[in-house]
A = this chain, B = another copy of it.
Amino acid sequence: VKEERPLPATAYAVLGLLSFGRELSGYDLKKWADHSLRYFYWSPAISNIYGELKRLEGLGYVVAREVAQDDLRNKRLFRITDAGSEALALWVHEAPVDPPVLKDHALLRVWLGHVSGPARLLELVAAEEAASQQMIDELRHNIDVSSQDVAMAYPALVENWCVGYQRARIEAFAELRNALEQQALEQQALEQQALEELPPS
């Protein structure tokens, strides 16, 4: 049980999912991450979660209870230990907080607008606006669920944050769309002009 270098944040994310006191399987954790962590952090691949659970078990931060299934394999339900809770609390209090990362693949294409021109970008931007709107709908549903449960007060606050964030994202894209439409019109005007200067054959 040597604690050389700090665990990756993913380990604490998994431990954090278990810190709400429920006994959960790896599969459960992945599902939960998909509708919670995903919106503001990241949802690790299922194989990654199994890997982290193994590591956390080795450190004594979680324990598994074997549950028989009709399958050959058993189901394993994980629970956080006192040592795990302590390690998590220490991490939240002491570990340096990495700067937030936004990795927006659509914006990367907008940044490279000179390669494709405004038409393609308008497609992309519209798709992103729709995607954000869908996220808001999902989040609102999650908030309905979270506000039923007092233990989910902090997750509910974060879900609210996420709605505000997605709303702002849509607004920022709408503004960008205006600028692009402007540019598309100017480009059309230039093409029109070129056509007039070169009379029809």
Q: Which residue of B lies closest to A164 (CB)?
A: B172
Identify A116's interface contact among B92, B106, B114, B157, CB under 8 A. B92
CA distance A36 to B111 in the complex (A): 9
Interface residues of A in 9-23 (CB under 8 A from B): 9, 12-13, 16, 19-20
A160 contact set on B, CB distance < 8 A: 175-176, 179
A97 to B102, CA, bound (A): 15
Given contacts A89-B116, A157-B176, contact A16 B111 (CB under 8 A): yes
Number of residues in A with C-beta < 8 Å to the partner? 63
**Complex contact A41–B107 (CB within 8 A):** yes
Judged by a CB distance under 8 angstroms, whether A98 is at the interface is yes
A172 partner, pick from B103, B165, B183, beta carbons under 8 A: B165
Given B9, B110, B154, which contacts A154 in the complex, CB threshold below 8 Å? B110
* Interface of chain A, main secondary structure: helix
- Contact indicator A19/B115 (Cβ below 8 Å): yes
Q: Does A100 contact B (CB under 8 A)?
A: yes
Contact among B97, B107, B180 with A106 in the assembled complex (CB-CB below 8 Å): B97
Interface residues of A in 101-138 (CB under 8 A from B): 101-116, 120, 124, 127-128, 131
In the complex, the answer to whether A42 meets B101 with C-beta atoms within 8 Å is yes
- Confirm or deny: A66 has a beta carbon within 8 angstroms of a beta carbon on chain B: no
